[in-house]
Amino acid sequence: MGEPITILAFGDSLTQGYGLSKQNGLVPQLDRWLAENGQEVELINGGVSGDTTAGGLRRIDWSLTPEVDAVIVALGGNDLLRGTPLNTVSANLDKILDRVAAKGLPTLLVGYRATANFGPEYKGAFDEMYPTLAARHDVVFHPYIFEGMARAVEAGKATRAEVFQGDGIHPNARGVAWNVQAMGPAVVELIEKVRAR
Does residue 2 surpass a pLDDT of 70? Answer: no
Does residue 3 surpass a pLDDT of 80? Answer: no
Which of 13, 51, 137, 142 is flagged as catalytic?
Answer: 13
pLDDT of residue 115: 86
Is 63 an annotated catalytic residue? no
Full-model pTM: 0.96
pLDDT of residue 86: 94
Which of 79, 90, 137, 170 is flagged as catalytic?
Answer: 170
Of 3 and 81, more confident: 81
Average pLDDT over residues 52-58: 98
Which tens digit of pLDDT belongs to each residue from 93-117? Answer: 999 999 999 999 999 999 999 988 8
pLDDT of residue 39: 95
Q: How far apart are CA 75 and CA 110, in angstroms?
A: 8
Is 12 an annotated catalytic residue? no
Which tens digit of pLDDT belongs to each residue from 6-53? Answer: 999 999 999 999 999 999 999 999 999 999 999 999 999 999 999 999
User: Looking at domain 5-195, does it have CATH number 3.30.70.100?
Assistant: no
Average pLDDT over residues 140-167: 96
Non-local CB neighbours of 91 within 8 Å, separated by 6+ positions: none
Non-local CB neighbours of 193 within 8 Å, separated by 6+ positions: 70, 106, 140
pLDDT of residue 4: 84
Of 177 and 122, more confident: 177
Least confident stretch, 21-25, 121-125, 154-158:
121-125
Is 79 an annotated catalytic residue? no
Average pLDDT over residues 79-97: 95
Average pLDDT over residues 59-75: 98
